[in-house]
Structures are given as structure tokens and as C-alpha cells.
């Protein structure tokens, strides 16, 4: 009998622990591609959910929209408590599961530049965080850093609705500011260096604004631009560490935390319909002194004082 009690003392807690693990809600996170900004977004989501009894699954579509659909199907079969899409194409790959008639899955998107053009607004089981940054302040910053800026090259993926929206928004602002807008389309990350090279021969600077296909090739794009002696500007502050000269945009880890708070609210029982879509809470200025030295540029002291972070 004593032996039986002893066995029960060890087996009962184990059984309870196993059952608890079985019922832990799953959070399935789909990234459209791997790059530093989206990686930081996922880190921010994890920050908020740390300490909760949840199982977090993360997968990347590696920049492939067809793969995003396959991963979305795999995630839907797991019936997660919440699906999270990081990037526009990832969200488009998951949105149909949010509104299916049986067992719809709450969808929270993150780092989506233009939720309206992506078809994510006005849906009853979808919310999230847009990382759109007003373009005019960014162009004004570029002019302060590069007063002679007269031609801006933008390599972009026309398959990303967010990138198309940014290009269309850039046109009238560049025209008003007297900046020629040079565009080169590339649908795969492997094509981006060639697109950047063609633009760099004609432009005074390159600009990557939330295009995930281009951001995945940013290191190579910076090297191409360096070869022509021109800077690269970005909207993602986390991408400055890869050699860009400057960024005025959101801290992607904070975007992730903002997203994580929406996920946590859903887990705590808040109806998703009571959680309206959000935008970034603030913009930050990041500057890269080593990039400035490579290009023979001097950054104004007032800008250095305003910067959230200055990379040496």
C-alpha cells in the first residue's frame, strides 16, 4: 500500500501537467519572410505573451505567396486560439480562415502597411496593427541628409499590396518636392540586387519602404548602393544596422508588443470586434554614422540630437 501511495505521489502531478499542456491555447504566427524587422516584430509579440500558458508556433513563407497559403492551411488545421500574420501577404494567406462559416479563427495582423488595400479592414474577425509611416516627413529627412537629392530610386515588389500603395502615395509627394521617382519592379528577393543596381546608376539615393522582398536583400542592396556612392534610406529602424544611412519609422519590436497586446486581450476573452485596428504609436529616428563616413556625408548636429539611436 505504501508503494502504491508513493507511485501516486509521482504520477498524479505528472498527469495534471500533461493535461494542462494539452489544453494550452496555440498561437500560430506566419511571417511572410525572414528579415530583421519582421524578426523583431515576432520578438515583441513573444515579449507580451511571455509567462502565459500558451504554445507559440512560428513559420516563415520565405517570401513565397504560394507557400504562405500552404502554411495558412496547415495552421488552420491546428485550430489555434489566435492566428497572427506578420506582413501583408501573410495576412492575405490567413484571412479566409477568419471568416469561414465553421470554427473561424481570430486573425491579428502586424506590420501591414496598408490594411485597406490588402482587404483586411471591415472584416468581423480581423484586427491588427499597421506599420504605415507618413511619407512626407521621411522625404524631408532625406533632403536634410542629402540636400542635393533630386532622384530617388525605389526597388519594389508589385506583388505586395503594401509596396504598390507606397509607390502610388510617393508619386505626388515626390512631384511636389521636385524629386524624380525612379522605380524598378522585382518579384523575388534574388532579383532585388539587379533592380537596385539599375536604379543606383541613375538615382541619388535608394529607398526601401516596408517592402519585405527588398528588405530580405537589404545587405546586398546596401553593398550595391555603396558601389555607386549613394545612400540607402529605409522605413524600418531595425534595418539601419544592416548599413542603411537613416530611418524614420516605427520600432518594430514595439509594433510586435502592440500586436501582442491585442492577442492577449483576445485570449483574455475580449471579443475581437471590440478591438479596432491600430496604427503605430510613435516614430523614431535612427542614424548610421559609419554609413555616413563611407559615403563622405556629414550629419547635422540637430538631427543627431533628435535621433532615438545613433549607430557609431
For the segment 10-42, what is each residue's pLDDT rounded down to a tens digit? 333 333 333 344 579 999 999 999 999 999 999
Residue 111 dihedral angles phi and psi, to the nearest 5°? 55, 40
d(CA 162, CA 255): 16
Residue 165 dihedral angles phi and psi, to the nearest 5°? -60, -40
pLDDT at 22: 56
- pLDDT beneath 70, residues of the chain: 1-22
Of 172, 28, 160, 190, nearest to 89 by C-alpha is 160
pLDDT at 23: 79
- Assess whether 228 and 171 both reside in one domain: yes
Number of independent structural domains in the chain: 2
d(CA 192, CA 245): 19
pLDDT at 4: 39
E strand segments, the chain: 26-31, 55-60, 82-86, 107-112, 126-130, 151-156, 180-185, 205-208, 232-234, 246-249, 278-279, 284-288, 309-311
- Assess whether 142 and 122 both reside in one domain: no
CATH code, 299 = 3.40.50.2300
Sign of CA dihedral 120, 126, 127, 131: negative
- Assess whether 204 and 88 both reside in one domain: no
pLDDT at 140: 98
pLDDT at 287: 98
- Assess whether 203 and 141 both reside in one domain: yes
- Assess whether 15 and 121 both reside in one domain: yes
Taking CB atoms within 8 Å and a gap of at least 24, the contacts of 55-59 are 55/24, 55/25, 55/26, 55/27, 56/26, 56/27, 56/29, 57/26, 57/27, 57/28, 57/29, 58/29, 58/31, 59/28, 59/29, 59/30, 59/31
Could you tell me the three cell numbers for 65? 505567396
Q: How far, rounded to the nearest angstrom, does the alpha carbon of residue 254 sit from its chain's CA centroid?
A: 11
- Assess whether 7 and 125 both reside in one domain: yes
- Assess whether 96 and 143 both reside in one domain: no
Cβ-Cβ contacts under 8 Å for 129 (sequence gap 6 or more): 108, 109, 110, 111, 112, 255, 258, 259, 262, 277, 278, 279, 280
User: Which residues form the domain of 16?
Assistant: 2-131+252-279
- Assess whether 33 and 123 both reside in one domain: yes
Could you tell me the three cell numbers for 2? 505504501
- Assess whether 227 and 256 both reside in one domain: no
- Assess whether 166 and 177 both reside in one domain: yes
Amino acid at each position: 500500500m505504501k508503494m502504491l501511495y508513493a507511485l501516486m505521489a509521482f504520477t498524479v502531478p505528472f498527469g495534471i501537467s500533461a493535461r494542462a499542456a494539452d489544453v494550452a491555447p496555440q498561437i500560430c504566427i506566419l511571417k511572410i519572410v525572414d528579415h530583421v524587422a519582421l524578426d523583431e516584430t515576432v520578438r515583441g509579440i513573444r515579449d507580451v505573451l511571455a509567462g502565459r500558458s500558451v504554445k507559440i508556433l512560428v513559420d516563415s513563407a520565405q517570401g513565397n505567396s504560394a507557400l504562405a497559403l500552404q502554411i495558412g492551411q496547415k495552421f488552420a488545421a491546428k485550430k489555434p486560439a489566435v492566428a497572427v500574420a506578420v506582413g501583408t501577404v501573410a495576412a492575405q494567406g490567413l484571412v479566409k480562415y477568419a471568416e469561414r462559416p465553421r470554427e473561424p479563427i481570430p486573425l491579428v495582423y502586424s506590420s501591414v502597411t496598408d490594411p485597406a488595400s490588402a482587404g483586411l479592414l471591415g472584416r468581423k474577425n480581423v484586427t491588427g496593427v499597421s506599420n504605415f509611416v507618413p511619407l512626407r516627413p521621411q522625404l524631408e529627412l532625406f533632403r536634410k541628409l542629402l540636400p542635393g537629392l533630386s532622384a530617388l530610386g525605389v526597388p519594389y515588389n508589385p506583388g505586395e499590396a503594401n509596396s504598390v500603395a507606397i509607390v502610388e502615395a510617393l508619386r505626388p509627394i515626390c512631384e511636389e518636392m521636385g524629386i524624380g521617382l525612379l522605380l524598378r519592379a522585382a518579384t523575388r528577393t534574388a532579383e532585388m540586387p539587379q533592380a537596385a543596381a539599375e536604379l543606383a546608376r541613375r538615382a541619388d539615393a535608394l529607398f526601401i519602404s516596408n517592402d519585405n522582398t527588398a528588405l530580405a536583400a537589404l545587405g546586398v542592396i546596401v553593398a550595391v548602393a555603396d558601389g555607386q556612392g549613394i545612400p540607402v534610406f529605409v522605413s524600418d529602424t531595425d534595418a539601419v544596422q544592416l548599413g542603411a544611412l537613416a530611418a524614420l519609422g516605427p520600432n518594430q519590436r514595439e509594433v510586435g508588443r502592440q500586436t501582442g497586446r491585442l492577442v492577449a486581450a483576445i485570449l483574455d476573452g475580449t471579443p475581437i470586434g471590440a478591438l479596432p485596428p491600430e496604427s503605430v504609436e510613435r516614430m523614431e529616428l535612427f542614424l548610421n554614422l559609419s554609413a555616413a563616413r563611407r559615403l563622405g556625408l556629414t550629419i547635422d548636429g540637430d538631427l543627431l540630437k533628435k535621433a532615438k539611436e545613433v549607430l557609431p
